[in-house]
Structure 1
Amino acid sequence: MPSLEANYNETQVPAYELPDLLRFENGELAQTPDDWRRRRSELLALFRSQVYGQAPPRPANMRAEVYESSADALDGLAVRRQIRLHFDVPEITPLELLIYLPAHVEGPTPMFAGLNFFGNHTVQDDPAITLSSRWMRASDPYAVVNHRATEASRGKAASRWPVREIVGRGYGVATMYYGDLAPDNADFYRDGVQGLFAPDRTGLPGAEEAGAIGIWAWGLQRILDYLETDEQADATRVTAVGHSRLGKAAVWAAAQDERFAMAISNNSGCTGAALSRRCFGETVGIINEKFPHWFCGNYKRYSGRENALPLDQHMFLALLAPRPIYVASADEDLWADPLGEFLALKAAEPVYHLLGMGGLSAEAMPPIGEPVHGVQSYHIRQGTHGITSEDWAYYLDHADRFLVS
C-alpha cells in the first residue's frame, strides 16, 4: 500500500524523468502542427483511459428554461439570469445555472464559466438567487447544516466570485453548483447526472468510466452549450476557470472541448497542474485514497507508482495549445505543490513553440506577486489555498490581452 504521508521536503523529491510530450507511443517525434494534432488525440485517449475516464457526449435532449431574470441586478451593474437545464430522464434533477452579464456593454460579452462549491446562492448576497436544496459537504463557514444550505449561506463565497469587478471590466460570469452534477461523496457521487449515461447508479467508477472530475468537466461543457444560445454571451470567448478540484475539472473540460477560448487553473495541484512524478504534497496515492470517486478505476493502479504513468500533467496542460492557459499557485499551499505547477507549465512549452505561439517567458519560478504573462501565464501569490481578488485581477488582465485586445 502506498504511503499516505505527504512530503514537503524538496530534498526528498525522487529522481524522475518526464515522458516526452512530443513523442508518439510508437517512438516517432511530432515535428509539425499536423503531427501535434495526432499526438494530441493520442494523449487525450490516454488521459481518458488512465486518469479522468470517458464521459458521455453532448446530450441531444438538453432543454434550457430561463425561469428568472433581472435587468437591474447588483445596483444596476448587471443583468442576472437563472436557468434550469432539463434532461429527458425523470431521475435527473435539472441543473441550476446562474449568469451575470454587464448591463451596459453592447454586443456579445466574453464569459468566465466555472463551478462553485456550495451553491449559486453563495456567489452573491442576493436574495433572488435560488437557495440550493441539494446535498452539500459539511461546512460551518458556509453555514451548511445537516448537509443542506441555509439562508445564512447567502454570499459566503462572494470573495471568491468578485462579480461586480468582473462585470465592471466587461465580462460575464456563468456558474453552477458542482454538487448538482455529482455530489462530492464516494458513497453517492452517482446521484447527479450519472443516470444519463451509466445505468449502474452504485459503486465507484469502472476502469475507464468518468469519475466526478470528468462529470464536473462535462457540466462545464453544458454551460457552454447554453451560452451558445444566449445572444448576450459570446460563446467564442469563454474561459473555463476553476479552483482546486474544480481547477482540475476546468482544464479537463477545455482540454477536451476546443470551443473554450482558454482555461485557468487556480491551485489545482495533484492530477491538476502539478507534476505527479515529484511526489510533493498531495500524491496520486493520497488523492486516490481520499477521493476514490474522482478518477476512473484505472488511475488507482498508479498509487505509489507515479513513474509507471504513461503521462504526466505537463501533457495535460499542453492539451490547451495553441490556446492560452493560466496556472496560478499560492506560496503557503504546499499541498498543491506550487513548484510542481510551474514546472508542469514550463514542460508544456515545447508544444507552444512548435505551434509558433512562443512559450512561458520565464526560465525559473517568478517572485511572489510578479505574474508572467503570455499565451502561457503564471503567478504565485502570497497566502494559502484559495482564489482571491488578487488572482482575479491577474485573470482579468490576462483575458484583456487575449479575449479583447
Structure 2
Amino acid sequence: MRYLFTLVLSGLALQTVAQNPSPVTFTAEQDHQNMMNQLGIKSLRPGPSGDNTAPNHANYDEALANPYPELPEVLTLKNGKKVTTPEMWWKQRRPEIVEDMEREVYGRIPKNVPKVTWTVKVVDKEYVGFTPVIAKQLIGHVDNSACPLIDVDIKMTLVLPANAKGPVPVLMMFGRNVLPTPAQPSPEDLEKINNAMKKLLIQTDPELKSIFEQYPAYQPIASQVPVFGAPRPAGDPPSTQQLIADGWGYVMIDPASIQADNGAGLTRGIIGLVNKGQPRKPDDWGALRAWAWGAARGLDYLETDPSVDSKHVGIEGVSRYGKAALVTLAFESRFAMGLIGSSGEGGAKLHRRNFGEAVESLTGGEYYWMAGNFMKYGAAEATFGSKTAKDLPVDAHELIALCAPRLTFISYGDPAQGDAKWLDQQGSYMAAVAAGPVFKLLGARDLGVSSDYYTEKMPAINVGPIGGELAWRQHDGGHTDAPNMKYFIQWSDQLINHNASSAH
C-alpha cells in the first residue's frame, strides 16, 4: 500500500513538472529587451555616468538639480480633496499611494505566493563581544510544489542575548547569513575527532600511515579557537555587538537567497517561482519588493519565538539594501522601525531630482530592482511617446510617508568619506521634510522643521539625530550606517521605552 502511495505521489510530481514549461533562461539584456517589447519602448535615455569626464556625466550643480520642483501633494486625494484626518489617510489617501507605488514603481506581490515553512538548522551557544548569545540558523523553505524546478530557501540567522529576562527588540538586517562566533570543540574533543579522522583516512589509503608517523604532531583538523584575540580597531564596536550589549537581538537575512541581485535571475528566485520560470509582466514585483517580502516572512518566524518582542522588530539595510529596508518598512506595517542607510534613487531620494543617480539609472542597468512599468519613465521613444520623472504619479516622500507613524531613521554618510554625492543626500533630506506632514497628521513627530522641502537646509554632518518618530542624521563616515547605529539604538530605546539594564 505504501509503495502504491509513493508511486502516486511520484506520478503527481512528474505530472506537475510536465505541465510546467522549463524555466526561461534569459541574459539580463534579453530580459530587459523583453520588458521593453511588452511596454512598447523603442529606446531609453541613458542613465547619467559617474565619470565626471563623460559627456553624460551626472549633474552635481544644485542650480540645475530641481527641474520638476513641484512634488505630488502627499495629503491631497486624486479628486483634489485635502486629507484632514487620520481616517482619511488610512482609508483613502494611503491606498491611492500604495496602488501607484505598486503599479508604477516597485511592483505588486502576487496573491498566490506560496507558503514558507521555517526550520531551525543550528542552535549554538556563542558570544558577541563579551555577551553570551543564543544563535539560530534558520531555513525558510518556500513551497515549490507548483513549480518543482525552482527552489527557494530563505537563509536567516537569529542572535539573541542568552541572559535576557524577557522578550527583546530585534533589528533585522539585510546581509550575509553567518553565525557570529561558532562554538568549537574542546581540545580533548578535537583530539578524539582527529584520531578518528586519521583512522578513517588510513583505512581509505594505507599509505597515509607512514606519513602520519613521519609527522606525529600533525592534525587533519586544526583548532579554530584563536590563541590571542585581535585588538579591536579604534571607534565604535560593530553594530551587532552594540545591539546585543544594549539588550537587543538581531537577524541577518540573506537577500540573495530570496531573489538574485541581477536581471538574469528574474525567472528564478521567488519572482521566478511564482511565475513558474516565465518572464515578468509590467506590474510584477522587482527585487526590492521581493527582498521586502522575504523580510516579512522572516518576521512571521520571529512572531513565533517567545524570546523576541515581535511588536518591536526593526528593519535595516545600506545602499541597495537601504532601498529594500525602506520598501519593507513602507509596505509591511508589522515592522515597528527602520534604519535606512544611504539608500539613494529608488529609496529615500526624490525621483524628480536631477542630481547624481537618476530614474534612468534604474530603467537601465538596475531595472530588475523595480517593476517593469518603471522603465516607462526613462523612455526616449515609445508607442506612448516619452516620459520623464515628472510623469511619475508618486515620489520618494510618499514612500517615506507610508512608514508613518512608525519610527523611521534616514541615515547618510559624508561624500568626502565615500558616501558618494551620487546618492543625493540633499534630495533625500527634501523627501524626509516633505513626508513630515503625514507623521504629524497621525500624531507622530516629524523632523521638527517646516514642511517647505524646497527651502529647508540640510543639517550639518554629525548633528542630531534631528526629529521625533521621523529622524535624520548624516554621519562623518562613508558608505555605511555603522556610525549611526549607536544613535539609532538610543533613539529607538527612548521611543519604545526599552531599558537595556532590564533586558539582562
TM-score, normalization by structure 2: 0.70
- Contact 2:446–2:470 (CA under 8 A) maintained in structure 1: yes
Secondary structure in structure 2 of the residue aligned to 1:187: helix
Matched, 1:360 2:403: no
State the match for 1:376 in structure 2. Answer: 470
Amino acid at match of 2:468: G
Q: How does 1:339-358 map to 2 (within 5 A)?
A: 339-358=426-445
Aligned residues: 371
Structure 1 Cα separation of the partners of residues 304 and 77 of structure 2: 38
Matched, 1:95 2:147: no
Q: What are the Cα deviations for residues 82-128 of structure 1, in whole angstroms up to 9, with x where unaligned? A: 11112221432321110111122111110101211xx313x746478
- Contact 1:30–1:36 (CA under 8 A) maintained in structure 2: yes
Matched, 1:257 2:332: yes
2:356 corresponds, among 281, 286, 290, to 281
Amino acid at match of 1:17: E
Structure 2 Cα separation of the partners of residues 30 and 76 of structure 1: 49
State the match for 1:188 in structure 2. Answer: 265
1:85 corresponds, among 128, 137, 140, to 140
Amino acid at match of 2:262: N
State the match for 1:319 in structure 2. Answer: 402
- When residues 402 and 299 of structure 1 are mapped into structure 2, their CA distance, relative to the original with a 3 A threshold, is same
Structure 1 Cα separation of the partners of residues 353 and 113 of structure 2: 38
State the match for 1:13 in structure 2. Answer: 65
- When residues 162 and 355 of structure 1 are mapped into structure 2, their CA distance, relative to the original with a 3 A threshold, is closer
- Contact 1:183–1:190 (CA under 8 A) maintained in structure 2: no
2:480 corresponds, among 386, 390, 401, to 386
Structure 2 Cα separation of the partners of residues 366 and 241 of structure 1: 22
More helix by share: 2
Secondary structure in structure 2 of the residue aligned to 1:24: coil
Matched, 1:162 2:205: no
Q: How does 1:76-225 map to 2 (within 5 A)?
A: 76-89=131-144, 90=148, 91-116=150-175, 119-121=176-178, 124=180, 126=182, 162-199=239-276, 201-203=277-279, 205-225=280-300
State the match for 1:4 in structure 2. Answer: 47
- Contact 1:188–1:202 (CA under 8 A) maintained in structure 2: no
Q: What are the Cα deviations for residues 243-274 of structure 1, in whole angstroms up to 9, with x where unaligned? A: 11111111211211111112221100101001
Matched, 1:36 2:84: no
Matched, 1:402 2:495: yes
Matched, 1:55 2:130: no
Structure 2 portions without partners, runs of 5+: 1-43, 49-57, 185-223, 225-232, 379-386, 450-455, 499-504
Structure 1 residue 161 displacement after superposition: 5.7
Amino acid at match of 2:165: E
Structure 1 Cα separation of the partners of residues 311 and 173 of structure 2: 16
- Contact 1:288–1:300 (CA under 8 A) maintained in structure 2: yes
Amino acid at match of 2:479: H
Amino acid at match of 1:164: Q
Secondary structure in structure 1 of the residue aligned to 2:343: coil
Structure 1 residue 353 displacement after superposition: 1.9
Matched, 1:290 2:372: no
- Contact 1:78–1:103 (CA under 8 A) maintained in structure 2: yes
State the match for 2:33 in structure 1. Answer: none
Structure 2 Cα separation of the partners of residues 384 and 71 of structure 1: 33
- Contact 1:160–1:387 (CA under 8 A) maintained in structure 2: no
State the match for 2:206 in structure 1. Answer: none
TM-score, normalization by structure 1: 0.86
Structure 2 Cα separation of the partners of residues 236 and 377 of structure 1: 20
Structure 2 Cα separation of the partners of residues 265 and 299 of structure 1: 22
Structure 1 residue 355 displacement after superposition: 1.8
Structure 2 Cα separation of the partners of residues 328 and 68 of structure 1: 33
Secondary structure in structure 1 of the residue aligned to 2:253: strand
- Contact 2:400–2:431 (CA under 8 A) maintained in structure 1: yes
Secondary structure in structure 2 of the residue aligned to 1:56: coil
- Contact 2:342–2:411 (CA under 8 A) maintained in structure 1: yes
The percentage of aligned residue pairs carrying the same residue is 30
The worse-fitting range, judged by mean Cα deviation, of 57-66 and 93-102 is 57-66
Structure 2 Cα separation of the partners of residues 187 and 160 of structure 1: 38
- Contact 2:154–2:258 (CA under 8 A) maintained in structure 1: yes
Matched, 1:73 2:127: yes
Structure 1 Cα separation of the partners of residues 469 and 438 of structure 2: 12
Structure 1 residue 288 displacement after superposition: 1.8
Structure 1 portions without partners, runs of 5+: 129-150, 152-157
Structure 1 residue 359 displacement after superposition: 1.7
- When residues 289 and 59 of structure 1 are mapped into structure 2, their CA distance, relative to the original with a 3 A threshold, is closer
State the match for 1:143 in structure 2. Answer: none
- Contact 2:362–2:370 (CA under 8 A) maintained in structure 1: no
- Contact 2:134–2:160 (CA under 8 A) maintained in structure 1: yes
* RMSD of aligned alpha carbons: 2.2
Secondary structure in structure 1 of the residue aligned to 2:368: coil
- When residues 161 and 39 of structure 1 are mapped into structure 2, their CA distance, relative to the original with a 3 A threshold, is farther
Q: What are the Cα deviations for residues 293-338 of structure 1, in whole angstroms up to 9, with x where unaligned? A: 1111110111270111111100000001111211011220211100
